[in-house]
Amino acid sequence: MTLLSTTPRPLIAGNWKMNGLSTALDEARAIAAGLDRRPAAARVAIFPPATLLHRLGEAVEGSFVLVGGQDCHGAASGAHTGDISAQMVADAGGTMVIVGHSERRTDHGETCQQVAGKAQAALAAGLEPIICVGESLEQRQAGEAVSFVIGQLRNSLPDSLAGQAFDVAYEPLWAIGTGHVASVENIVEMHAAIRTELVARFGEQGRATPILYGGSVKPENAREILAAPEVGGALVGGASLKAKDFLAIVEAA
């Protein structure tokens, strides 16, 4: 198997969630400045709240930092108060968008079908979607983690992803914001199952699709996680809010 030539650089993605006022742009500038000192071995992206997307894009312009949205609606426009479309994310300077994050699925009752629609809308707007999946603690304890996540993946990925750039993020719910990072064994098992499903569904393309791990990734554990088989990057929450920590994770890639 000649994976080397097709394996993309790891993606280190910082999901700021509902954090960040204007002053946080300084952290983004510090991240951009930190990357400018050497060629980045990884792709680096920041996903600020929608209110900062445009300004953050301007703040890091000309650097290695990519910017993206944390969510988008499945429709291109319309009467959906409070939502933003994929086209709006692109118009604000984003090139990527996270869809199906567990906090969206939990807080807003998003279904896999809706997530697939969002991923499709992202592609239509020229964005690279990061599609998130992950099991709850109850599902893991019941021994259903892999079957649940693979089912979620199957239903959250639209067929239109074939031939398009996209990423998958595995984020076990019990590891998000808890400091309880999944064991490398758990990560390796799940990423291997996700890889098998991606290859079954998308053939050769599925071999190269980056599979990110997310859930309490910190400078202290990033190296071990990122070195694990089939881990193609990290989706980082809390530790992406401080340039120093985020850059240390990028350094570990």
Binding-site residue set for substrate: 15-17, 177, 216, 237-238
Pairing of strands 128-133, 11-15: unpaired
For residues 218 and 211, the answer to whether their CB atoms sit within 8 Å is no
Q: Which of 68, 69, 94, 214 binds ligand 13P (CB under 6 A)?
A: 214
Q: Which of 20, 57, 74, 238 binds ligand 13P (CB under 6 A)?
A: 238
Residue with Cβ nearer ligand 13P (236 or 243): 236
Tokens of 82: 């409070």
Give how far Cα 14 sits from Cα of 31, 70, 74, 89, 236, Å.
11, 10, 23, 16, 5
Q: Which of 139, 156, 186, 216 binds ligand 13P (CB under 6 A)?
A: 216
Positive or negative, the CA dihedral 31, 34, 39, 40 is: negative
Residue with Cβ nearer ligand 13P (59 or 99): 99
Please state the φ and ψ torsions of residue 142, each to the nearest 5 degrees.
Answer: -85, 0
Could you tell me how many residues make up the chain? 253
The DSSP result for 109-124, as a single string, is ---HHHHHHHHHHHHH
Catalytic residue set: 101, 171
Binding mask 95-134 for ligand 13P (x = CB under 6 A): ------x---------------------------------
- Residue 237 as a binder of ligand 13P (CB under 6 A): the answer is yes
Binding mask 143-182 for ligand 13P (x = CB under 6 A): ----------------------------x----xx-----
Which residues of this chain interact with ligand 13P, rule CB under 6 A? 15, 101, 171, 176-177, 214-217, 235-239
